[in-house]
Amino acid sequence: MIGITIGDPSGIGPEITLKALSRIKNPAKIIRLIGSRLLLETLNKQLKTNIKLTDMIYDINTHLSFKYGRPQKKCGVASFLQLHLATYLLKIGKINGIVTAPVSKAALSMAGFPFPGQTEYFAREFGVKKYGMLAWSNTIKVILVTIHKPLKDVPKLISEENVLEKIELLNNYFVYYEKKRKPKIGVLALNPHVFEFSCGKEKEICKAINKAKNIGIKAKGPIPGDTLHMHTGFDGFVAMYHDQGMIPVKLLSQGAGVNMTLGLPFVRTAPLHGTAFDIAGKGTANPDAMHNAIRLCQRLT
């Protein structure tokens, strides 16, 4: 059974959730929705998705009122409650995997949410110290050493230990979930030209690569980030910072990419995009990434 948190009510999360479910045969057999029943039932009629929601919803905030397209404390509270209930359902075995629709970090902050994002929340709740964000698509898969950090802060976070941790997480993903005996992993450089004008972090990356090789992982690099798309012989890549990995995955996935958290004791996926406040409430959101997130979670759970 897969749980889906419908995300920030004022964003596109509820819309893409229902649109994605309309593509799945008998969703009630495998899906439980976590969010406002009133919102979902109202939207189901407006979108004409015609999903039989009766037994699918774990209801919260039934009488929530909001305005589309902007961060609001009440929507942050709703998002927080969804995550809290999802955690409880995972712990008692009512659901076995989770798909999270987009949330607003600003709204969550207004609600007193003390974490940078949903990834960190789940890691804390399940006592996980080593975890990573995998940007997933059918054509390319990239794990990030640093996630939502300003570029000025990235170099000090690039260490042998941090890079090795992400190499191992990515290798374990391919071995455990994709059943690849010896996945080949490319490790990107922090510096655009690798060792030319390097600030010294490429030495740390090389140490991590060598340690990975010593424990039997087929890691290679450092590879210039701007040539990632040319290295077709790798199963996946380790990127040093957010944009270095996200841009190629989002470009090559054409809006259908998935965010997967590695290291958790269950499968957690999400669409590889945000709340899209600019189109929220208009009924025009593309559900491809959400559909892929659901399907990936179902396949791997």
For residue 257, give its domain range: 129-263
Torsions phi, psi for 219 (to 5 deg): -110, 145
Token readout for 191 is 């510096």
Tens of pLDDT, residue by residue over 227-262, are 887 777 899 999 999 999 999 999 999 889 999 999
**pLDDT of 63 over the 80 cut:** no
Residues 91 and 159 in one domain: no
Q: How far apart are CA 122 and CA 212, in angstroms?
A: 27
Q: Give the end-to-end CA distance of the chain in Å, rounded to a whole number.
A: 9
Residues 240 and 145 in one domain: yes
Residues 176 and 158 in one domain: yes
The pLDDT of residue 148: 82
Contact 107, 274 (CB under 8 A): no
Per-residue CA distances from 199 to 112, 161, 218, 235, 239 (Å): 38, 18, 26, 28, 17
Token readout for 216 is 């039997």
Mean pLDDT, rounded, of the chain: 95
Tens of pLDDT, residue by residue over 148-205, are 889 999 999 999 999 999 999 999 999 999 999 999 999 999 998 888 878 889 999 9
8-state DSSP, 213: H
- Percent of the chain beyond pLDDT 90? 89
**pLDDT of 64 over the 90 cut:** no
Contact 3, 99 (CB under 8 A): yes
The pLDDT of residue 228: 83
8-state DSSP, 98: E
Q: Number of folded domains in the chain?
A: 2
pTM of the model: 0.94
CA of residue 48 relative to chain centroid, distance: 28
Residues 113 and 157 in one domain: no
Q: What is the mean pLDDT of residues 44-58?
A: 96
Residues 245 and 270 in one domain: no
